[in-house]
Amino acid sequence: MPSLKDLRNRIASVKATQKITKAMQMVAAAKLRRAQEAAEAARPYSERMGAVLANITQAIGGGGDAPALMTGTGKDDVHLLVVCTAERGLCGGFNSQIARFARDHIRKLLADGKQVKIICVGKKGFDILRRDYGALIIERVDLREVKTLGFVNADAIAKKVIHLFNEGGFDICTLFYSQFKSVISQIPTAQQIIPAGVVSDAAEAKDGGSAVYEYEPEPGEILSDLIPRNISVQVFRALLENAAGEMGAKMSAMDNATRNAGDMINKLSITYNRQRQAQITKELIEIISGAEAL
Amino acid sequence: MPEAFKFELVSPERLLVSEQVESVVIPGAEGEMTVMAHHAPVMTTIKPGVVTLKTASGKEERYVVFGGFADIVPAGCTLLAESAVAVGDIDRAELARRIQEAREDAADAKDDQTRSKAEQFLNQLTTLEGAILPA
C-alpha cells in the first residue's frame, strides 16, 4: 500500500502530464487547421493538372510517343516504395499504421520474388522499417527541419525518384501515405505513381474535354514535361495529406491521453482520501481505546 | 471595351488569381502570346517569365512565373505555374539561387541534349532577371 506522501506525489505528477498532453492537443488542433488549409489550397492545382493530363492523353491516344514515365518499362521486377510518414511520434497509431501497410505490401512483393527498394520520407517510418527491411532502404528523406511544407520539398523527392527511374533503378513506383479522411480516421493508402495511371474519365466529364486543342509545342513534348510535374504534385499532395493526418491523429491521441490522466487523477484522489480517512479513524480508535484503558 | 473572361493562376501551394480579366500576356514556350476572350483552345508550356494581366476593372497586375503550362479554352484560361509570385513580392535571393542551380545543372549535364536544355533554361532565367530588375 503506497503511503499518503507517495500518493500525493503521484497525483502531482499525473497532473503535470495532463497539462502537457492538453497543451500538445491544442497545438495539434491549431496545426491541423493550418495543414487542412494548405491541403485545400493545393487542391485546385492537382485537380486541374489531372484534367489537363487526361486531356492530353486522350489527344495522343496512348500512341507510341508517350514517355516512359507513363508507359513504364514493361516489366515489374523491381518495385520502389516511397513510404511517407511523420517526423514525430506521439500521434497514436498513425505511423505504425502506414508502416504496417507498407510492410504487408513488401512481404507480398518479396514472396512473389520481386525486388524491393524503399525510400523513407520521415523519420518514424524509417525507424520502424529499418528493423525488418533495413537492407532494402536505399534512401531516407528528412523533413525535420522543414517548418511549412512547400512544393519544393515534394519536388525534390519526385526528382530523386525520376532520376532513379531514368537510370533504370526500378520498374514500378508506389507511394505510401495516409489519406486524411477525418480527424479521427486516416486511411493508409498505396498509390502507384510510375507508370502513371491516368484517369481518362475526368476529361469526358469536363466541358472543355471535347474541344480540339492546339498544342504548343507538340503534345508529346508537353506530356513529357507534364508527367514529372504531375509526379511532384502527387508527392506534394501525399505529404500534405500526411501532415493533416498526423496532426489529426496527434490531436485525438492527446485528447485520449488527457482524458486518461483525468481518470487516473480521480482514482488516485479517491484512494488518497480513503487512506487519509482510514488513518484518522485509526488514530481516533487509538486515542479512545487508550482513554478507556485508564 | 474588350470582353472579359475568367483567368486563373494556380501554383501547387495555392490559387493566386481567379478573376475576370480583359487580356493576359503569357510567356509561352514558343514565344509570348496575348490571350483575350474567345481564344481558340490552346495548350502550351510556359517558360520562366512575367505574366501580365489586365483585369476587367482596368488594373494591370504582373506575376513572375517559373515554368508550368497554360490551358486556354474559349471560356477562360488556366495557368498552372510551378511557382508564381507577384512581381512586387519577388525574392531576389530566391531568383539568384535558381539561376545558380540552373548554372550548375548546365555545367554537369552529361549529354548534349540535357546541356542544351539546361542552358536554355538558364538563359530564360537570366532574361527574366533582366526584365524585372528595373521594376
Does the CB of B10 have a partner CB in chain A at under 8 Å? yes
The chain B residue lying nearest A150, using CA atoms, is B13
**pLDDT at residue A106 in the model:** 92
- What whole-number distance in Å separates Cα of residue B10 and Cα of residue B78? 8
- Beta B31-36 vs B60-65: how paired, if at all? unpaired
A277-286, B4-13, B120-129: the lowest-pLDDT one: B120-129
| Residue B82 distance to chain A (closest CA, Å) | 8
Interface test with B, best of A36, A57, A148, A213 (most B CBs within 10 A): A213
Of the listed ranges A30-34, A87-91, A244-248, A263-267, the least confidently predicted one is A87-91
SS3 content of chain B, % helix, strand, coil (to 5): 30, 45, 25
d(CA A57, CA B64) in angstroms, rounded, equals 29
Report whether B81 contacts B106 (CB < 8 A). Answer: no
Q: What is the reported pLDDT for A201?
A: 44
Tracing cell 528595373 back to the chain, one arrives at B134
Model pLDDT for residues A107-125, shown as the tens digit of each residue: 999 999 899 999 999 888 8
State the pLDDT at residue A202. Answer: 42
Give the integer Cα–Cα distance in Å for A155 and A141: 12
| Cross-chain Cβ contact A215/B42 below 8 Å | yes
Report the C-alpha gap between A147 and B89 in whole angstroms: 21
Look up cell 472543355; give the residue. Answer: A208
Phi, psi angles (nearest 5°) of residue A169: -75, -25
- Classify burial at B59, counting beta carbons within 10 Å of its beta carbon; exposed 0-12, middle 13-18, buried 19 or more: exposed
| Percent of residues, chain A, with pLDDT higher than 70 | 93
Q: Min CA distance, A222 vs chain B (Å)?
A: 6
pLDDT band at A89 (very low <50, low <70, confident <90, very high): confident
Quick check: B14 and A41 CB within 8 A? yes
The band of A277, judged by pLDDT with boundaries at 50, 70 and 90, is very high
Q: From the CA atom positions of chain B, what is the Rg in Å? A: 16
Mean local confidence (pLDDT), A251-274: 95
Q: What is the pLDDT of residues A241-261, one digit of tens each?
A: 899 999 999 999 999 999 999
CB-facing half-sphere around the CA of B100: CA atoms within 13 A: 6
Q: For B21-50, how does the pLDDT look when each residue is reduced to its tens digit (9 = 90+)?
A: 998 999 888 888 898 888 888 888 888 888
CA distance A105 to A152: 28
Q: Answer yes or no: A84 catalytic.
A: no
Taking an 8 Å cut-off on Cβ atoms, the answer to whether B42 and A211 are in contact is no
The region that residue B14 occupies, defined by phi over 0 for left and psi between -120 and 50 for alpha, beta otherwise, is beta
**Which residue in A198, A194, A197 sits closest to A54, CA to CA?**
A198
pLDDT tens, position by position, B70-126: 888 888 888 988 888 887 777 777 777 877 887 787 777 777 777 777 777 777 777
Residue among A211, A221, A229 minimizing CB distance to B41: A211
- pLDDT for A66 equals 65
In whole angstroms, give the CA distance from residue A82 to residue A238.
Answer: 11
pLDDT-above-90 percentage for chain B: 2
pLDDT at A63: 54
| pLDDT, tens digit, 9 for 90 and up, residues A112-165 | 989 999 999 988 889 989 988 888 888 888 888 777 788 888 888 998 898 898
Report the pLDDT value the prediction gives residue B59, as an integer from 0 to 100. Answer: 86
Residue-by-residue DSSP string for A12-79: HHHHHHHHHHHHHHHHHHHHHHHHHHHHHHHHHHHHHHHHHHHHHHHHHTT-TTS-HHHH--S--SEE
Q: How many CB atoms are located within 10 Å of the residue A294 CB? A: 4
Average pLDDT, chain A: 86
Say yes or no for a CB contact (<8 Å) between A215 and B75. Answer: no
Q: Does B41 touch chain A (CB under 8 A)?
A: yes
User: What chain A residue is nearest to B44 in terms of C-alpha separation?
Assistant: A216
Would you state the pLDDT for residue A273? 96
pLDDT, residue A209, reads 46
With CB atoms and an 8 Å threshold, state whether B43 touches A222: yes
Expressed in angstroms, the distance from the first to the final Cα of chain A is 33
Q: How much is the average pLDDT of A37-56? A: 83
CA–CA separation, A56 and A162 (whole Å):
21
Q: How high is the pLDDT of residue A204?
A: 43
Lowest mean pLDDT among A67-76, A268-277, B22-31: A67-76
In degrees, rounded to 5, the angle at the alpha carbon of residue A185 between the alpha carbons of residues A184 and A189 is: 155
Average confidence (pLDDT) over A67-71 = 73
Whether the ω angle into residue A195 lies within 30 degrees of 0, i.e. cis, is yes
Q: What does the block give as the cell for A27?
A: 497545438
What average pLDDT does range A202-210 have in this prediction? 44
Name every residue in A having a CB less than 8 A away from some CB of B: 38, 41-42, 44-46, 48-49, 51-52, 55-56, 150-151, 154-155, 207-208, 211-217, 219, 221-222, 225-226, 229, 232-233, 236
**Catalytic residue chosen out of the listed positions A84, A91, A120, A173:** A91
Q: Which three cell numbers stand for residue A131?
A: 528493423
Torsion angle of alpha carbons A147, A148, A151, A154, nearest 10°?
Answer: 50
Q: What secondary structure letter does DSSP report for B87?
A: G
What's the pLDDT band for A208 if we cut at 50, 70, 90? very low
User: Is the previous residue joined to A217 through a cis bond, with omega within 30 degrees of 0?
Assistant: yes
Q: Which residue of A has its CA nearest to B10?
A: A45
Give, to the nearest 10 degrees, the angle between helix A219-293 and helix A94-111: 130
Measured in angstroms, the CA of A59 and the nearest CA of chain B are apart by 11
Is the previous residue joined to B2 through a cis bond, with omega within 30 degrees of 0?
Answer: no
Retrieve residue A8's grid coordinates: 500525493
- Cell reading at A63: 500512341
Give the chain A residue nearest B43 (alpha carbons). Answer: A215
Please give the pLDDT value at position A65: 60
What is the model's pLDDT at position B132?
Answer: 66
Q: A37 CA to chain B: closest CA distance, Å?
A: 10
In this prediction, the answer to ipTM > 0.85 reads no
Greater confidence, B99 or A269?
Answer: A269
